[in-house]
Amino acid sequence: MTKITEAAIEADPKLPVIRMTRDFAATPEQLFRAHTDPGLFARWVGPEGTDTRIDHWDARTGGSWRYVSVLDGTEYWFRGTFHEVRPDRIVQTFTYEDDPDGVALETLWFEDLGEGRTRLRAQSLVDSFEGRDAWLRSGMETGVNEGYAKLERLLRDDAV
């Protein structure tokens, strides 16, 4: 039986921040590639049944990105800017286009645990506690966990 690992998702009580942590059977280089290669990213991001198409993707410091995820016939557009892209860390903005004022600053860290395992830590700083709590109520936990499960399958199948 395969154990399904879920991300630990926590809301900071003092700041409008969401923190996520998940371990993967992968190297930091593999996880970095999965987050910066648009073809790979589109294959795993979002909940099961999501079809993601990349509009543009320039994964470099100063670059930008935009994609659409289609779920049950509804389009969800997202965009952002890569502020820093390096092998151990990505800093980017994240905006859901139906809420253009709700820009989050996200940081992802790829921590080498040794023996082919990596801890992915992510932090999203939003503009208010209300905005943070709306994210948490939106079903993001399902999207995060189902997306990471798809990524885990890609890693297991040596697609990354």
pLDDT digits (tens, 9 = 90+) for 92-118: 999 999 988 889 999 999 999 999 999
**Predicted confidence (pLDDT) at residue 49 exceeds the cutoff of 70:** yes
Angle (CA) 80-86-90 rounded to 5° is: 35
- To the nearest whole percent, how much of the chain has pLDDT over 90? 86
Mean pLDDT of 25-51: 96
**Contact status, residue 25 vs residue 151, Cβ threshold 8 Å:** no
Lowest mean pLDDT among 54-58, 82-86, 101-105: 101-105
pLDDT score of 159: 82
**Overall average pLDDT of the 74-78 stretch:** 96
Angstrom CA distances, 125 to 53, 94, 102, stand at 26, 10, 10
Positive or negative, the CA dihedral 119, 132, 147, 7 is positive
pLDDT average, residue stretch 55-60: 98
What dihedral do alpha carbons 148, 44, 68, 20 form, nearest 10°?
Answer: 20
Structure pTM? 0.92
Phi, psi for residue 85 in degrees, rounded to 5: -130, 115
pLDDT of residue 129: 95
Q: Decide if pLDDT at 16 tops 70.
A: yes
In this predicted structure, what is the pLDDT of residue 113?
96
Ordered DSSP codes for 39-79: HHHHHHSSSTT-EEEEEEE--STT-EEEEEEEETTEEEEEE
The mean pLDDT of the chain is 94
113 contacts: CB under 8 Å, gap ≥ 6: 23, 119
